[in-house]
Amino acid sequence: MTESTQNVPSQVAAVPVKPGKIIAVHLAYESRAAQRGRKPAVPSYFIKPFSSLAGSGAEVERPAGTELLAYEGEIALVIGKPAKNVSLENAWDHVAAVTAANDWGVYDLRAADKGSNLRNKGRDGYTPVGPELIDARKVSPDQLRVRTWVNGDLVQDDVTADDHMIFPLAQFVADLSQHVTLEEGDVILTGTPAGSSVAQPGDVVEIEVDAPQADGAPSTGRLISRVTEGTASFDSNLGAMPAVDDKQREEAWGSREQAGLPAEESKGLPEDLRAQLEQAPTAGLSAELRKRGLNNVVIEGVYPQKVGTKMVGTAKTLRFVPNREDLFKSHGGGYNTQKRVFDAVGPGEVIVIEARGSAGSGTLGDILALRAQFNGAAGVVSDGGVRDYEAVKEIGLPVFAQTAHPAVLGRRHVPWDQDIAVACGNATVLPGDVIVGDDDGVIVIPRDIAQGVVDAALAKEHEDAWVAERVAEGNPVDGLFPPTGEWKEKFQQWLAENPVPGN
C-alpha cells in the first residue's frame, strides 16, 4: 500500500460544487469503447440526483445482498455561465472549472434501471467530487489527465487528447445545451476510461485529475472514497431486487478473467471439426449434402462483403416480421430482440437473420457488427440489407447479405423472435445448425452429419486436386473426371502414398 493510502485523512472534505443538475456521459473514451466492444456514434447521457453528491473522504456503501459495486474515475466539468444553444467553438467558455469525480454504480441493479441508472448510480454518496477545482481558463480541454488508485495501485490512467476521446469534452456542453439550459454550477461527468472495476468493502479508492502539460501543472488533489458494507436489505414487495449474471460480472469487473469466470469456449463445434470446415469449400460440402438427399441447404442471394471471406460457425437465429406500425411501436424500440441477439451472441456463433429476402432496409449496422465481433461471433448472414456498409466491412466481421441499404428497421421490419427456426434465403435454419460461407455463398449443414459431410468433402477435394494435375498434363477428362478403370487404379495407388490430410 502506498504512503498516500496509508495516510488518508479521516475527515470528510466539503463538496466543492452545488449543482442544480448532475448529467453523466455513458461512454466517451476510446479505451473504454474497445474494452466494451461498442462505440457510440453520438453521446448519450443520464441524470444523477443532487443527493448522490459527497466530498472527499466520504464512505460509499455497497448495499446488503449485492456484489458488484464498481468505481469509475472521471473528469467533471463545472458550468460557469448559462449555456443554451452554444456552438462547439464557444462551449469551453461556459466551463468555469474541472474537478475529479467517481461515478459509483451497483451493477446488481443495472438491468432493473433499463438505462436510467437511478438505482444503480443514484444512491446517496455515489457521486463524490473534488477535493479542489482547476480553473478551466488555465487549461486546454485536451490537456487533462484522470488517474485512479485502488489501495495504492494505479488502475486507471488516461488523457483527453483527441486520439483518446470519442468526443471532445466541449462537445458535451454544446450538445446538451441544444436540449437543456446548463446553469451556473451544473456538473457534467464526462465518462470513464478503461480500468473501471469492482471495489470491495474495506477498499480505498482515490481519483486525481490534473493537467501535467499546462502551466503550473494544476491538480485537483486526490478524491478519496472508503468502501463499506451496508446492512439494510431491500424489500421485494416494494420494487426491483438485485440480480446479477456472468455478463454483468464481466462488464463490472472489466473482463471475464478479472471476474474469475472461465474463458468462453467456441460454441457447438470442436476445434478439429472447425478446422476441417475452414478447409472445405462450400461447393464440395454442397455436393456431399446432395448425395445425402439434402438439396435445399443453400442460403440464396447472399454475398460476402469481402472477396476471400471464409465463415464457419453454429447458427444463432433472429427473425424479423414485416413492419406494422403498432407492432414496431411495441417491439421495435428500446432493448429489442435484435439488440438482445447481438449482445448475447457467443464465440463461434453465426447470427442468421430472417428478413424475408427484403433488401429495402438495413438489418444490422456498424455498432451491432462491432458488438458481435467483440463477443467472438463467427459472422452474420442476412437475406436483407446492411447499413453503414463500408464501416461494417472495415470492422472485419464476416458478413454475408444481399446489398447495402441506408434505411433503419422500421421501414420494412419488426424484430420479433430469436433462437427459433428461421427461413433465410429460402433455406430453413435451426439454432445450432452448422453454417459455412465462402465466395460461392452460404450453406447449412445439420449438426449431426457435419463430421461425415466434411470428411467426404475433403476426400473429394483431395481427389480433385490429383485429377487437376493430370488434366494440366494434357490428359482428357473422359474416364479421369471422376477416375474410372485404369485412372481409378492409378489414383488409388497415389492415395495410398498421399492420404487425405488430417485423416
- How confident is the model over 305-361, as pLDDT tens digits? 999 999 999 999 999 999 999 888 888 888 889 999 999 899 999 999 999 999 889
CATH number, domain of 363, equals: 3.50.30.40
What pLDDT is attached to residue 2? 41
The HSE-up count of residue 90 (CA atoms within 13 Å, CB side) is: 8
- Three-state SS for 415-437 is EEEECCCEEECCEEECCCCEEEE
Same domain, yes or no: 225 and 276: no
What pLDDT is attached to residue 265? 56
- How confident is the model over 177-202, as pLDDT tens digits? 999 999 999 999 999 999 999 999 99
Same domain, yes or no: 94 and 195: yes
Same domain, yes or no: 444 and 469: no
In a domain, 260, yes or no: no
State which residues of the chain have pLDDT below 70.
1-10, 264-268, 502-503
In a domain, 237, yes or no: no
In a domain, 89, yes or no: yes
Same domain, yes or no: 433 and 463: no
One-letter amino acid for residue 349 of the chain: E
In a domain, 440, yes or no: yes
CA dist., res. 297 & res. 254, Å (int): 40
Same domain, yes or no: 425 and 464: no
The domain tally of the chain equals 3
pTM summary value:
0.59
- How confident is the model over 132-163, as pLDDT tens digits? 999 999 999 999 999 999 999 999 999 999 99
Contact 168, 207 (CB under 8 A): no
Same domain, yes or no: 398 and 486: no
Nearest Cα to Cα of residue 370 among 408, 410, 342, 350? 342
What pLDDT is attached to residue 268? 67
Angle between helices 366-374 and 337-344 (to 10 degrees): 30
Same domain, yes or no: 221 and 312: no
In a domain, 266, yes or no: no
In a domain, 288, yes or no: yes
CA dist., res. 242 & res. 264, Å (int): 25
In a domain, 503, yes or no: no
What pLDDT is attached to residue 419? 92
CATH number, domain of 25, equals: 3.90.850.10
Same domain, yes or no: 424 and 330: yes
What pLDDT is attached to residue 391? 94
What pLDDT is attached to residue 245? 84
Same domain, yes or no: 285 and 140: no
Contact 107, 68 (CB under 8 A): yes
Same domain, yes or no: 195 and 304: no
Same domain, yes or no: 72 and 219: yes
- Host domain of residue 467: 453-497
Same domain, yes or no: 198 and 148: yes
What pLDDT is attached to residue 266? 52
In a domain, 236, yes or no: no
